[in-house]
A and B are shown apart, each in its own frame.
Chain A
C-alpha cells in the first residue's frame, strides 16, 4: 500500500462518497456544494474519481440507466477498505499536527 496522503479535493470526495449510501457523480458534486461549500467543476471531479480508483481507494459498479440519462448507465461509487484506511491515516496525521495549536487557532479539532 502506498503512503500517499489524499489531497484536499480527494479527501472531500472520499468523505462525500462515504456519506452517501448511493454515491453517483452528481450526488457527490451536490454534497460538496451543500455540505462543504466547495464548488468544483465536473471535469475535475471526474479526474479525481478516476485517480482515486487507480490508487484503489474507491471502486465503482455500473448501474442501469434512469429515464433522464438518454439510455446511458451510471457509475455508483463505494469507498474501499484501503480508502477508509487512507482517510484514517490522514486524520491521524492532521490531528497530530493540530495538537497544541488550540491556543492559536481556537478550539475545534478537524
Chain B
C-alpha cells in the first residue's frame, strides 16, 4: 500500500521551500520519511510528524526571508519570532488550547462588532451620503419633533424646495393596481428634486425628471416588488397602472436590496406645493439638504440656528424655544432602542475576551515557569530588558494572531447564520441593516488580537524581566522559581468571575427560550391564514360603506368550499390590543384603578370557529349584532374579573371613558375561552372583551380563515378571489399564516437569546479550560512535594484536600464576584428576558451549580494525577 503525506501540508511545503533542487530534495526526503514512519508505525503519527516537520521548515525558510527584508533589527526580531513559533509548534497541546480560547474571545468580538456596525453604521447606500443632512426640529416645549415634523414648524426651511435644493419625503402604504392583481406597497412620496438631491438612481429605466409634472405621475418600484408583484416582466418601464384613482407610469426599477428609507417598495413624486401646505399622505414630512462642496455641518447648523431665531422673532405663533439641527440619514433612521441591548451584549463579549486573555496569560505564566533557566541566562548574559520581555510578547502575539484567524472564520459563520435568521420578511428590518465580515471588521479583529496579545503577554513578560538572574541560575534545572502562584490565582478568580457574569445573562436568555418553547396562546394558530386590507381611501370614508363591504365579503367567504371557517377582525388574536378600563352596570368604583382592564377586540361572527375554540356559555356573535341592541362577548378571565360572584351572562358592561363621558352599555350574550388577545408580551394579559365588528367598522381589518387541511397558504387564492368579487381592485396585504405573525413578535427573544446563550457556552468552556490548565500546572509544580508527602504516609484524601482547597476557594471567590456583576447587569438584560425575571434566584443557583460542576470536571484529571504521585519518582528528582 502506498502512503501519501497530507495534501494541505504538502501544499504548504510546496510554497515555503525554494523552488530549486535543494527544495526538491527536501520535499522528497520528507515524503520518504513520512512513508517510512507510516509503514513502521501508525499512519496517524506519521501524519502528525509530517505536519510538524512542515511547520518547522516553514519557520526556518519562510520567516527569515520575510523578516530579513526589514534589515538588521528585523532579522533580530525574526530570530526571536522563529524561536517563539518553534516553542509553540513543539508544545502543540497548550498552544492549540490557547489559540482556541483566543479564537472564542476574538471571534465573538468580531461577531459583535459586525452586528453593531450592521445596525448603526453601514449607511443607506446613497452617493456621498455623509453630505446629506436631515433637518430636525427641536422644541423642548413640544418635545423633540424627531425628523418628521409637521408643516408649520418647518415652513421656514422650505426655501429651495421647488428648485431642488431641499428634498422632502413622506412614507405611507398605498394600493396599486398591477395588471395581475391589486397590491399594497409601502411608498415614499418625494418632492420633485429629491431623487437628484438624494442620489436615488434606478438600475432599470430612469429617475423621474422634474418636468414630469402634468399628466401621469411617475412611479419607481423596488427590484423586490418588480419580481414579486409584476412577475419580473421586461416591459415594466412604461407600464401604466393606477394607485387608487391616480394614473401612474412606471419609469424605473431600483437596484436589488434598495428600499429607501427603510423597507419601502415604491417611490413617486408629490408636488412641492403639497409639501409646502403640509398636505402629505401622513401630514408630516422629512426634510434634507445636501452640503455644498466646502460647506461644513457646523456652518449648516449655525445657519439653521439663525433661521430658527429669526422665525421665532417674527412671531407667527411658533414655540419660542424652537430650534433646528441637522443629523445624518443614519442617525435619523436608527433608533436607540436596541443600543442598550447591544451594549449589554458587547459587555458580555468583552468579558469573554478578558477571560480568554486571563486564560492565556495563565498558560504563559506556566510556561514561563518552565523557562526560568532560559530567562536567567538571557539576563545574566546582559540581555536587555526588551530581549528578556520580547519572547513572551511575541509568543502571545503569535497565539493571538492564530486565534484571530480562527476567530474571524468562526465569526464569519456566525454572521451568515444571523443574517439568515434575521430575514427581512421576519423582522421587517430596514434594508440598510446588514451583517457582514468586511474590511472594518477585519481591522477591528486585528486590533483586538494585538490588544489581547498585550493583555495576555505583559503580565508574564514583566514578571520574567523582574527576576534577578542569580536567583534562577542555581536552580535552573529544577522547574519554577518564577513565582507564578499569586498571579495565576488572581487570573483564575478573574476568569471564573467573568464567566459567571456572562453565564447569568445566558441563564436568563436560556430560561426565556424555554418559556418561548412552551408558550400557549389558547388555540392552534398553525392552520389559520390571515391577511389585512386597508379601507382608508376617500371611497371608504363612510363607515356604512365599509360595513356593507365587510358584510358582503363575509358572505362570499362563507360560500367558498375551500374554507371551513372565516372571519374578519380589527386585530388578530395574540398580537396585541388596546386595554382600557371597563365598568360593570350597578357597580360603583371608588378609584379609577378599581375598574378592571379589558383587551378590546372587534370581531365578526365566526372568529372563534376559525380558532376552533367554541363558545363556553351563551351564544356566539351573529350577523346583525351591534346594529340594534348593543351586545358583547367576554372571555372567561374577564368574566371572573368583572363578575366575581358569577352571573356575567346577561350582565351589562361598558368601556370607561373618563369622568362625565358615558359610553353605551353592552349586554354580555356569550362567554368565550381565553385566546390571549394581548399575545406573548412580557406583560400580564387582561381578559378580552369582543365587540361586534360591524358596530363600528374600522378602516383597517384583518381576514382570517381556516381550511380542512393543514396548509394555510393554500387558502389565500380563495380569500383573494372572494374579495375580488365584492371589491375588485382592493388588495390584501400582510398575507401570512397566523403562526408566522405570532412568531414575528418573538424573533427578537429567540434570536438574540440564542446568541447570548452562545456567549454563555463560550464563557463556560473558558472557565473549564482555565481551571484545568491551572490545576494541572499546580500539580506538576508540586509533584515533588506531593510525592514526599505520599512517601511520608499522607493518604489520597489528604492530597486531594491539599490541592483542592485552594481551587474551591478561588472558584468560590470568582463565583461570588461574577454573580454580583450578573445581578448588577440585570436591568440591561431585561430586554431579552421573556417572562423571566432577570434576577430570578433560580438562574443564579443554576449558574453556581454549573460553574461548580465544570470546576469539578476540569480539576478531576489533574487531581487524579496528584493522587498517583509516585514517592520514588519525587525523591529521584531531588
**Are B24 and A43 interface neighbours, CB within 8 A?**
no
Which residues from A are CB-within-8-Å of B59?
43
A25 to B4, CA, bound (A): 20
A63-71, A84-92, A94-102: which lies at the interface: A63-71
Q: How far is the CA of A65 from the CA of B29 in the complex (A)?
A: 10
- Which of B5, B21, B32 has a CB less than 8 Å from the CB of A26? B32
* Chain B residues within 8 Å of A62, by CB: 21, 25
Knowing A26-B33, A70-B4, A75-B22, say if A43 contacts B56 (CB, 8 Å).
yes
Near B by CB (< 8 A), chain A positions 54-80 give: 60, 62, 65-70, 72-75
Flag if A68 contacts B53 (CB, 8 Å): no
Could you tell me which residues of chain B, from 257 to 279, have a CB within 8 Å of some CB in chain A? none
Q: Which of A47, A69, A73 contacts B21 (CB 8 A)?
A: A73
Determine if A43 and B57 form an interchain contact, defined as CB atoms under 8 angstroms apart. yes
Residue interface mask B191-221, A partner, CB < 8 A = 1:
0000000000000000000000000000000
- Cβ < 8 Å to A, chain B residues 1-50: 2, 4-5, 21-22, 24-33, 35-36
For residue B32, give the distance in angstroms from its CB to the closest CB of chain A.
5
In the complex, the answer to whether A68 meets B36 with C-beta atoms within 8 Å is yes
User: At the interface, yes or no: B60 with Cβ under 8 Å from chain A?
Assistant: yes
Does any Cβ of B come within 8 Å of A19's Cβ? Answer: no
- Show 5 residue pairs from A and B whose CB-CB distance is below 8 angstroms, ordered by the A residue: A25-B29, A26-B29, A46-B26, A70-B27, A74-B25
Given contacts A70-B5, A70-B31, 18 further A-B contacts (CB under 8 A): A26-B32, A42-B56, A42-B57, A43-B57, A46-B26, A46-B60, A47-B60, A50-B22, A68-B32, A68-B35, A68-B36, A69-B29, A70-B4, A72-B24, A72-B25, A73-B21, A73-B24, A75-B25
Give the complex CA separation of A25 and B31 in angstroms: 13
* Interface size grouping (class) on chain B: 20 to 34
Residues of A within 8 A of B21 (CB): 60, 62, 73, 75
Asked if A65 and B60 sit within 8 Å, CB to CB, the answer is no
Given known contacts A46-B26, A73-B24, A73-B25, A66 and B32 CB-to-CB distance under 8 angstroms: yes
Cβ of A67: which chain B residues have Cβ within 8 Å of it? 2
| Residues in B whose Cβ lies below 8 Å from that of A68 | 31-32, 35-36
Distance of A43 Cα from B57 Cα, bound (Å) = 6
Q: Which of B4, B27, B36 contacts A72 (CB 8 A)?
A: B27
Asked if B56 contacts A74 (CB within 8 A), the reply is: no
CB of B304 to closest CB in A, whole Å:
69
Contact with A along B238-256 (1 / 0, CB 8 A): 0000000000000000000
By the criterion CB–CB under 8 Å, are B26 and A25 in contact?
yes
Q: Within 8 Å CB of A26, what residues of B?
A: 29, 32-33
Q: Complex Cα distance A74/B29, Å?
A: 7
Q: Assuming A25-B26, A75-B21, is B57 touching A69 (CB within 8 A)? A: no
Name the distance in Å between B245's Cβ and chain A's nearest Cβ.
Answer: 79
Which residue of the partner chain A has the closest CB to B28?
A: A72
Contacting residues, chain B, for A65 (C-beta < 8 A): 28
CB distance from B13 to the nearest CB of A (A): 11
Question: Looking across the interface, which residue of chain A has its beta carbon closest to that of B27?
Answer: A72
Closest to B24 in A: A72
Q: Is the CB of A42 within 8 A of B53?
A: yes
Other-chain contact of A73, B28, B35, B60 (Cβ < 8 Å): B28
